[in-house]
């Protein structure tokens, strides 16, 4: 039995997440980091550059929304590995809460962005990577709902940033505590069996 499997009490094939779950995790994580950077810093650039950055921002947002739906469906239909015995009960509770908060934010942030472009004074379709257009949500445009959606989108972005820091901090803590195999559950290339 491998070290990872022995530490988790599971067979080697059940000790880590599936390849699909791992791929979705890292694809969404990378897109979220890029989109947070685009969202937080696009105002620092000249207008033509901002327009291109926002096209990318919106396209990535729709991609994250689609991948998140796939990820949730995968999670509901494929049992993840059991929590490692190295984790304390409060840590497993916190990990569960953080994962479901991630799912909520991964849905709420793109939807609030879609609501922004659907309720502005000049409602136009969103260009998805200059390939095709995505129409607005079926809502009545209005300044009140538009301003609320903008505020929510920004606050949710900061909440995502905080959650990312908490998530990465937890992984680093476990790594430094000597539980390196925990990283191998979602990043098998970072933890090699001996």
Annotate 118-157 with DSSP letters as a single string: HHSSS--PEEETTTEEEPPPSS---HHHHHHHHHHHHHHH
Q: How many CB atoms lie within 10 A of CB 112?
A: 21
At 102, is the pLDDT very low, low, confident or very high (cuts 50, 70, 90)?
Answer: very high
CATH of the domain at 40: 1.20.950.20
Q: Is the pLDDT of residue 93 over 80?
A: yes
Give me the number of domains the chain comprises. Answer: 1
Stretch 107-135: mean pLDDT, rounded?
A: 90
- Contacts of residue 25, Cβ cutoff 8 Å, sequence gap at least 6: 17, 71, 186
In this structure, is residue 109 part of a structural domain?
Answer: yes
Q: Is the pLDDT of residue 1 over 70?
A: no
Element (H, E) at 103: helix 89-119
Q: Is 75 exposed, middle or buried (CB count within 10 Å of its CB: 0-12, 13-18, 19+)?
A: middle
Tens of pLDDT, residues 4-13: 444 444 444 4
- Per the CB < 8 A criterion, the answer to whether 22 and 186 are in contact is yes
In this structure, is residue 194 part of a structural domain?
Answer: no
Stretch 41-58: mean pLDDT, rounded?
A: 90
Q: What pLDDT, on the 0 to 100 scale, is given for residue 154? A: 96
What gap in Å lies between CA 59 and CA 43, rounded to an integer? 18
Q: What pLDDT, on the 0 to 100 scale, is given for residue 24? A: 95
In this structure, is residue 105 part of a structural domain?
Answer: yes
At 193, is the pLDDT very low, low, confident or very high (cuts 50, 70, 90)?
Answer: low
Six-digit token string for 119: 């309720």
At 91, is the pLDDT very low, low, confident or very high (cuts 50, 70, 90)?
Answer: confident
Which of 86 and 136 is assigned the larger pLDDT?
A: 136
Stretch 109-130: mean pLDDT, rounded?
A: 89
Stretch 25-52: mean pLDDT, rounded?
A: 93
Residue of 166, 194, 169 lying closest to 181 (CA atoms): 194
In this structure, is residue 138 part of a structural domain?
Answer: yes
Question: What domain range is 174 assigned to?
Answer: 17-80+87-178
In this structure, is residue 187 part of a structural domain?
Answer: no
CA angle 142, 148, 151 (to 5 degrees): 135
- Contacts of residue 182, Cβ cutoff 8 Å, sequence gap at least 6: 84, 86, 171, 174, 175
- The per-residue pLDDT of the chain, averaged, comes to 85
Residue of 112, 119, 186, 95 lying closest to 156 (CA atoms): 112
In this structure, is residue 193 part of a structural domain?
Answer: no
- Per the CB < 8 A criterion, the answer to whether 134 and 126 are in contact is yes
Phi, psi of 14 (to 5 degrees): -105, 0
- Per the CB < 8 A criterion, the answer to whether 136 and 117 are in contact is yes
Q: What pLDDT, on the 0 to 100 scale, is given for residue 12? A: 45
Which of 84 and 26 is assigned the larger pLDDT?
A: 26
Q: Is the pLDDT of residue 147 over 70?
A: yes
């Amino acid at each position: 039995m491998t070290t990872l499997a022995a530490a988790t009490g599971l067979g080697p094939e059940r000790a880590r997440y599936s390849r699909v779950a791992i791929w979705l995790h890292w694809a969404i994580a990378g897109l979220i980091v890029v989109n947070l950077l685009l969202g937080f810093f696009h105002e620092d650039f000249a207008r033509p550059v901002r327009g291109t950055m926002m096209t990318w921002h919106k396209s990535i947002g729709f991609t994250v929304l689609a991948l998140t739906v796939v990820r949730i469906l995968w999670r509901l239909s494929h049992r993840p590995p059991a929590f490692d015995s190295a984790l304390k009960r409060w840590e497993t509770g916190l990990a569960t809460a953080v994962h479901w908060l991630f799912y909520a934010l991964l849905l709420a942030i793109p939807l609030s962005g879609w609501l922004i472009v659907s309720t502005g004074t000049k409602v136009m379709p969103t260009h998805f990577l200059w390939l095709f257009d995505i129409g607005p949500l079926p809502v009545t445009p209005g300044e009140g709902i538009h301003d609320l959606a903008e505020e929510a989108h920004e606050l949710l972005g900061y909440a995502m940033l905080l959650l990312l820091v908490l998530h990465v901090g937890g992984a680093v803590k476990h790594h430094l505590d000597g539980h390196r195999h925990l990283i191998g559950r979602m990043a098998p290339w970072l933890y090699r069996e001996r």
